[in-house]
A and B are shown apart, each in its own frame.
Chain A
C-alpha cells in the first residue's frame, strides 16, 4: 500500500472518532504549546536583556568597594586623582570617573520629592550613555570648580515643576543646598532601571562638600574595545589595591559588561531550558495519551487487522498503518500546538513588552519532536497490532 493511501486511511480513522482524537491530541497540543511559549518568551527575554546590556555599552566596566573588614572606609575610597593616575598608567582605558550614590531630598517652592542622587564627573555621561533631553550634562571643569549645578531626569523635573514647565536655570534645594538645574536627561527605561524613578546628578566635588566626604565607592569606566574590557578592569582594580593598600585583595571587586552579558545569557538559557523541560513533561504525558488511545484503537480494530492480513497485508503493512496513524495524530497536535503557542507567545510578549520573534528552528524542532512522540508512543501499539494472530483476530467480536 502506498504512503498517500496510508495517510488517507489514517486521517479517516482520526476523523471518524473526532471527539476521541481531539481529546487525545489535546495533550500534545498543550505540551507543544507550552514548549513553544516558554522558548519564544525565553528568547524574547534574552534578546531584551542583551539589547539593554548592549545599550549600556559593552565596553563598560566598574571597580567598586565590596567589603571592608577593618572599617576604615575612607582609606579605600577613590577619587579624581585615582582616575587621573589610572588614565596615565592603563593604556586601554578610554574614560573613567568616580561615582557615589546616595539619596537626597529635592525641593522647590511648591514641592518636595526624594530622589536618588548620583555624584560623578563629566565623563560619566559618555560612559553610562546618559541621554540629554534639554540643556547639558555638567563637564569636568564644572566639577573642578565645584559649581553648584544639577542634572535631573525627566521624572524628577515633572514631579518638581509640573509636566511641560521650563526647568533650565531654575534653582532647587538638594539635601538643603541650593543648586541650579543645567540639564534634563531622559528617564531610564528597561528591566535594569527598576522603573521610572526620580534621579539627580551632581558633580562629585559638590558631593564632597555637601556630604563631607573625600571619595567614592565606585569607579565607572570604558575600555577602548570590548575585547580588552576584562583585562582593563583587572588592571584598574590592581592599581587601586596598590594605591590604597588593600594587601589581602579583598576590598575591591570589578565587573564588566562583557562578562555580565555572558552570564546573563547563560542564566536565561538555563532558565529557558529548565522551564522548557518542565513543559516537555506535558508533551510526554500527551504522548502517553496517544499510546493509550492507539492501544484502544488496536483492540477495537482487531477484526479489521485480521481481515487485512487475510486479504494480503503483511505484518509490516499493519505496523506501518498504526504507526502512521499515531504519527499523524501527534503531528496534527504538534501543528495546532505550534500555532496556538505562537499566538499565545505573541500576546504575552506584547503584554510584558519584550520582542517577539518566530524562530524557525523552534517550529522545526517542535514539529520533529511531535513526529518523534507519535512514532515512539505508537511503536508499542503498532507492534501489538502487527503481532496479532490473524485467525484469532478474525474471530474477534
Chain B
C-alpha cells in the first residue's frame, strides 16, 4: 500500500538547513496497523505530512497504492487526499462554524457529491461513531472525545483505504482515548491501513507494528506480538473504577 525508498526531507530556510528525514525506507502492506513513535522533532510529523500528500519528499520515492506521488500535480494530489486518505488530527480540526453533519460531509462535497446524498451518508458515518444524536451540534458543544469521533467520521466518509492519525489521543483523557482507539481497531478489522503517530507506548501497543524515529532516522522497528485490545482496556478501566469506589 505504502512504499517509501531512500526518502530525504530537507528544509532550507536560507539560514539553516534542517534535515527532517534522512534515508527512510518503509513498507506498509495493505491492511496493516502501524504505529510511529519518537520524541518531538524526530521527523514523525514530517513523515505524516508526506504520507498525507500535504508535503513532498526532497529526494527519494513515495509510492502510494501503486502511484508515484512525485508525478502527481496539485489537483491530482488533492484528489488522493480526498479519496484515498482519511486524516485524524490531535486537535480534531473541525470547522467551528459548521455543525457535525456538515463537518463530516465536507470531503464528500469536495468530491463533487450532491449535498442531499452526502448528508445522508454523513449521518450514517456519524451513526457508526455513535454520535447520530449530536448531528446538529456544533463542535464547541461536544467533549474532546466526541469531537475526535466526529473527526473520525469525517475521515471515513469517502471510504478511504488509509487512515493517517497524528496523535489522535493526545488531547483526550484516558477513557476517551481508549474509545477512539476502539474505533481505529474496528477500522483496521474492516481491512483499512492505519498509520498512527503517538508518543504513548500504551496507545502504540494497539498496532501490529511499531517503528521508532530519532533525529529523522528510522531507528527501530518491532512487531507487536499481542496487540492491546481496547475492549479489554475499557473493561479493566471499569473494574478499577469499581474497586476505587
Q: Which B residues touch A264, using CB under 8 A?
A: none
Q: How far is the CB of A89 from chain B (nearest CB, A)?
A: 83
Q: Which B residues touch A308, using CB under 8 A?
A: 106, 110
Q: Which A residues touch B33, using CB under 8 A?
A: none
In the bound complex, do residue A1 and residue B109 qualify as a contact, i.e. CB atoms below 8 Å apart? yes
In the bound complex, do residue A312 and residue B81 qualify as a contact, i.e. CB atoms below 8 Å apart? yes
A4 to B112, CA, bound (A): 12
Q: Which B residues touch A4, using CB under 8 A?
A: 115
Q: How far is the CB of A360 from chain B (nearest CB, A)?
A: 34
B198 within 8 A of A: no
Which residue of chain B has its CB nearest to the CB of A314?
B78
Q: Which A residues touch B54, using CB under 8 A?
A: 309-310, 390-391, 394
In the bound complex, do residue A312 and residue B82 qualify as a contact, i.e. CB atoms below 8 Å apart? yes
Task: Flag B171-194 by CB within 8 Å of A: 1 or 0 each.
Answer: 000000000000000000000000
B114 within 8 A of A: yes
A394 to B151, CA, bound (A): 15
Q: Which B residues touch A312, using CB under 8 A?
A: 78-79, 81-83, 107, 110-111, 158
A155 within 8 A of B: no
Q: How far is the CB of B123 from chain A (nearest CB, A)?
A: 17
Q: Which A residues touch B106, using CB under 8 A?
A: 308, 311
Scan residues 307-321 of chain A and give those whose CB is less than 8 A from a CB of chain B.
307-317
Q: Which A residues touch B81, using CB under 8 A?
A: 309-312
Q: How far is the CB of B111 from chain A (nearest CB, A)?
A: 7
Q: How far is the CB of B159 from chain A (nearest CB, A)?
A: 13
In the bound complex, do residue A391 and residue B55 qualify as a contact, i.e. CB atoms below 8 Å apart? yes
Q: Which B residues touch A314, using CB under 8 A?
A: 74-75, 78-79, 110
A13 to B95, CA, bound (A): 12
In the bound complex, do residue A394 and residue B89 qualify as a contact, i.e. CB atoms below 8 Å apart? yes
A344 to B112, CA, bound (A): 45
In the bound complex, do residue B110 and residue A304 qualify as a contact, i.e. CB atoms below 8 Å apart? no
Determine chain A's interface SS by DSSP, over half rule. Answer: helix
In the bound complex, do residue B110 and residue A311 qualify as a contact, i.e. CB atoms below 8 Å apart? yes
B147 within 8 A of A: no
Given A309-B54, A311-B81, A1 contacting B89 (CB threshold 8 A) = no
Task: Flag A369-397 by CB within 8 Å of B: 1 or 0 each.
Answer: 00000000000000000000011001000
Q: Which B residues touch A5, using CB under 8 A?
A: 109, 115
Which residue of chain A has its CB nearest to the CB of B45?
A391
Q: Which A residues touch B83, using CB under 8 A?
A: 312
Q: How far is the CB of A315 from chain B (nearest CB, A)?
A: 6
Which residue of chain A has its CB nearest to the CB of B87?
A310
B43 within 8 A of A: no
In the bound complex, do residue A311 and residue B55 qualify as a contact, i.e. CB atoms below 8 Å apart? no
Which residue of chain A has its CB nearest to the CB of B86?
A311
A16 to B115, CA, bound (A): 21
Which residue of chain A has its CB nearest to the CB of B84?
A312
B49 within 8 A of A: yes
In the bound complex, do residue A313 and residue B87 qualify as a contact, i.e. CB atoms below 8 Å apart? no
Which residue of chain A has its CB nearest to the CB of B95?
A304
A2 within 8 A of B: yes
Scan residues 291-343 of chain A and give those whose CB is less than 8 A from a CB of chain B.
303-304, 306-317
Q: Which A residues touch B78, using CB under 8 A?
A: 309, 312-315, 317
Q: Name the contact of B87 in the complex, choosing from A1, A311, A316, A317 (C-beta under 8 A).
A: A311
Q: Name the contact of B74 in the complex, choosing from A303, A304, A307, A315 (C-beta under 8 A).
A: A315
Q: Which A residues touch B112, using CB under 8 A?
A: 1-2
In the bound complex, do residue B115 and residue A2 qualify as a contact, i.e. CB atoms below 8 Å apart? yes
Q: Which A residues touch B97, using CB under 8 A?
A: 12-13, 16
Task: Flag A1-14 by CB within 8 Å of B: 1 or 0 each.
Answer: 11011000000110
Q: How far is the CB of A255 from chain B (nearest CB, A)?
A: 68
A134 to B158, CA, bound (A): 90
Scan residues 82-115 of chain B and give those whose CB is less than 8 A from a CB of chain A.
82-83, 87, 89, 93-95, 97, 106-107, 109-112, 114-115
Q: Name the contact of B93 in the complex, choosing from A12, A13, A307, A317 (C-beta under 8 A).
A: A307
Q: Which A residues touch B94, using CB under 8 A?
A: 307
Q: How far is the CB of A369 from chain B (nearest CB, A)?
A: 30
Given A2-B115, A391-B54, A310 contacting B93 (CB threshold 8 A) = yes
In the bound complex, do residue B93 and residue A303 qualify as a contact, i.e. CB atoms below 8 Å apart? yes
Which residue of chain A has its CB nearest to the CB of B115?
A5
Given A5-B115, A391-B54, A313 contacting B95 (CB threshold 8 A) = no
Q: Name the contact of B114 in the complex, choosing from A2, A304, A306, A316 (C-beta under 8 A).
A: A2
- Which residues of A does B touch, CB under 8 Å? 1-2, 4-5, 12-13, 16, 303-304, 306-317, 390-391, 394
19 A-B pairs with CB atoms under 8 Å apart are: A1-B109, A5-B115, A13-B97, A309-B54, A309-B78, A310-B81, A311-B81, A311-B107, A312-B82, A312-B107, A312-B110, A312-B111, A313-B82, A314-B110, A316-B75, A317-B110, A390-B54, A394-B54, A394-B93
Those 9 A-B pairs whose CB atoms lie nearest each other, nearest first: A312-B82, A314-B78, A312-B110, A1-B109, A311-B107, A307-B93, A312-B81, A390-B54, A314-B75
Q: A1-B110, A303-B93, A309-B78 are in contact. List 19 more A-B contacts (CB 8 A).
A: A1-B109, A2-B115, A13-B97, A307-B95, A310-B81, A311-B81, A311-B87, A311-B106, A311-B107, A311-B154, A312-B78, A312-B107, A314-B78, A314-B79, A315-B74, A317-B110, A391-B49, A391-B54, A394-B93
